[in-house]
Structure 1
Amino acid sequence: MSQLSVIGTGVIGNGWISRALANGWDVVAFDPALDAEARTRAFVENAWHALEKDGLAEGASVDRLRFAATLEEAIVGADLIQENVPERLPLKQEILSAIDAAAEEHVVIGSSTSGFKPTDLQQDCKKAPGRVIVAHPFNPVYLLPLVELVGGEHTSPALLEGAREDYQALAMRPLIVRREIEGHIADRLMEALWREALHLVNDGVATTEEIDAAVVYGCGLRWSLMGTFLTFHLAGGEPGMRHMLEQFGPALKLPWTKLEAPELTDELIDKVVEGCEFQAAGRTVAELDRRRDDFLVEMLTLTRKYWPEAEGLEGRI
């Protein structure tokens, strides 16, 4: 039996809670907001239909969740601790310092931060700072398997390997990032695409719906199996990546992209908001969540057939 302690129950924290419950863990949560428990239980209920379709572990139950009255109470007996407070560095440092002081020294403390470096997060931790690491997941956490693990200056390779096993027990696919950098790996890639998308809207080249269509029906389908580099490797034909770079490499010098984000003017904000509302077509966020989850369950079922271990290619993608 394992216990995940979750500090902060927004969208990401609730995603961790749902994933842990679905994998047969006990979960103890803490959030000072008065309506936190009600919001979490509603979130889990909405996610549970997708988790049932994807397959629940033995012993999985929403009844294995309880809320604690204090942060200290929440981490008693924890096998893994996940921090998910708002993305403000001083706040995260304060909360992580309190968790570090109260938790047993062997317990890994993962932060869901999407951008901060672990060395900065460890700054005020005195007891066992090396066990405070970045453990950055992706929304919806209860379905998407990737978690980026990043250690700081006090973190040993052995601790990261132990953390890898902890998150694998939650049916995650941990990716240990070789060195700390703001935004880690995946968010830096997504931010580059996001900046380009905003420029295309701002310059009147495309609507939000058209840009999303370009991803959904084009590059996104390839990325879901092969990612960026292997996709371009195939673009080179039989000679592969070397030929692709010889053919298309010079285009990298052309002014096709604008990696600096555009100014978020009121006009651009209105365009983006109105475009997204048009795409939502009156559907609530909960309804869109369920539509997305149903798709992801089917997509995961398909992609698992092509994951490296299914083909005897462990360690290769």
Structure 2
Amino acid sequence: MTNTNSIRSIAVIGTGVIGASWTSLFLARGLQVVATDVAPNAEASLRKFVETAWPALERLGLSPAASQSNLRFTADLAEAVTGANLVQENGPERIDFKRKLYGQLDELLSPDAIIASSSSGLTMSEIQSGAALHPDRCIIAHPFNPPHLIPLVEIVGGAKTSEETIRRALEFYASIGQRPVRLNKEMPGHVANRLQAALGREVYYLVTEGVVSAADVDTALCWGPGLRWGIMGNMMLNHLGGGHGGIEHFFQQFTAPTTAWWKTLGSPVLTPEVQKKLIDSVHAEIGSRTIEELEAERDDILLGLLELRSRRAQMVAPGEIAAE
């Protein structure tokens, strides 16, 4: 098997928002990238995205070999994947499309090349059934949008994925600065989207029940638990919430009230009427601000948090970083 350090040539299939963001990240890490997409004006749109994303990547720190000139584009799939060590696939969420594509890739690529899907809605066991020759090298590598800024990538194999492939994938994404997490079993929506869905369900319930407005529920999240979640995850925060007694004391103190709250959580049905109520409340929160203004605000604050976390990581021992 090829080792992680030899993964230097990446093929990106599909250059929409996720594919373009992956491309930007790979280029910033000094990798050679060949991108392919059959959509009209795909190359121009991709290069514009990379150029726009580059100042943020410079702010976070480029690898010595980073260069936008390391990007090639072709509409020909076979040409795009020639010599690739890893394929980052970002195609439509249609199982028939992906099975056919993985059959093509399986025949075109060398046996040790990893095929990684960004899919958030399909399982690798479904997808890899199209790869008759080497299904063992197929994985899900699901990012969080946009992957050039958000480091999370969820790694999960299918029924026929090898442990070696999972190990190599975990090492590769970590080597380019991502924070990979391994899922030990396949779940619809993986992990992060399931967490978002659980929270979103209660947010929608509280707004549609008139408990709170969209603006106030967003304030409650981003100025309350959201601030803490940008530093530590739920389980570590529970440990701190138990004081000197840690997680053990937390469960002693909060099991009863927490499980009581669970019984009252809502399950809203997103009918057109409910959606309109949510939409109207969101637009009241937005006011006159544009999507571009909101994105700029999000990304600027996010970059500040990433820089702060990076400085913190450089100050502590590796064992302490892993315990965050």
Q: Say if 2:163 is the partner of 1:154.
A: no
Q: Deviations over 1:1-34 (max 9, x none)?
A: 8221111111111110110111111211111111
1:46–1:290: 8 Å Cα contact kept in structure 2? no
Q: Which position in structure 2 is the counterpart of 1:94?
A: 100
2:205–2:266: 8 Å Cα contact kept in structure 1? no
Alpha-carbon spacing, 1:284–1:22, altered in 2? closer, same or farther (3 Å) = farther
How does the TM-score come out when normalised to structure 2?
Answer: 0.90
2:8–2:31: 8 Å Cα contact kept in structure 1? yes
Q: Say if 2:187 is the partner of 1:187.
A: no
2:215–2:282: 8 Å Cα contact kept in structure 1? yes
Q: Which residue type is aligned with residue 280 of structure 2?
A: E
Q: Say if 2:177 is the partner of 1:171.
A: yes
| Separation of aligned partners in 2, 1:256 and 1:120 | 33
Moved more, 15-24 or 181-190: 181-190
Q: Percent identity?
A: 41
| Separation of aligned partners in 2, 1:136 and 1:212 | 26
Q: Say if 2:257 is the partner of 1:243.
A: no
Q: 1:10 aligns with which of 8, 12, 16?
A: 16
1:304–1:310: 8 Å Cα contact kept in structure 2? no
Give the deviation of 1:172 after TM superposition.
1.4
Q: 2:218 aligns with which of 163, 188, 212?
A: 212
Alpha-carbon spacing, 1:51–1:256, altered in 2? closer, same or farther (3 Å) = same
CA RMSD in angstroms comes to 2.1
Q: Which residue type is aligned with residue 41 of structure 1?
A: R
Q: Deviations over 1:79-132 (max 9, x none)?
A: 210111122222222222222221111111110111322111111111210111
Moved more, 285-294 or 11-20: 285-294
Moved more, 85-94 or 151-160: 85-94
Q: Deviations over 1:251-272 (max 9, x none)?
A: 2332546667522222222233
Note the residue ranges of structure 1 that are not aligned, 5 or more in a row: none
Q: Deviations over 1:154-209 (max 9, x none)?
A: 12212211112222232212212222222222221111111111111221222222
Alpha-carbon spacing, 1:100–1:16, altered in 2? closer, same or farther (3 Å) = same
Counterpart secondary structure, 1:174: strand
Alpha-carbon spacing, 1:276–1:87, altered in 2? closer, same or farther (3 Å) = farther
Alpha-carbon spacing, 1:110–1:232, altered in 2? closer, same or farther (3 Å) = same
Aligned counterparts, 1:285-296, within 5 A = 285-296=291-302
Give the deviation of 1:278 after TM superposition.
4.0
1:119–1:152: 8 Å Cα contact kept in structure 2? yes
Alpha-carbon spacing, 1:256–1:290, altered in 2? closer, same or farther (3 Å) = same
Q: 2:229 aligns with which of 198, 220, 223?
A: 223
Note the residue ranges of structure 2 that are not aligned, 5 or more in a row: 1-6
Q: Which position in structure 2 is the counterpart of 1:105?
A: 111
Give the deviation of 1:316 after TM superposition.
2.6
Structure 1 stretches of 4+ with a deviation exceeding 4 A read 255-261
Counterpart secondary structure, 1:142: coil
Give the deviation of 1:228 after TM superposition.
0.1
Alpha-carbon spacing, 1:270–1:175, altered in 2? closer, same or farther (3 Å) = same
1:80–1:166: 8 Å Cα contact kept in structure 2? no
Alpha-carbon spacing, 1:311–1:276, altered in 2? closer, same or farther (3 Å) = farther
Q: Which position in structure 2 is the counterpart of 1:76?
A: 82
How does the TM-score come out when normalised to structure 1?
Answer: 0.92
Give the deviation of 1:227 after TM superposition.
0.4
Aligned counterparts, 1:295-310, within 5 A = 295-307=301-313, 310=316
Q: Which position in structure 2 is the counterpart of 1:203?
A: 209
Give the deviation of 1:147 after TM superposition.
0.9
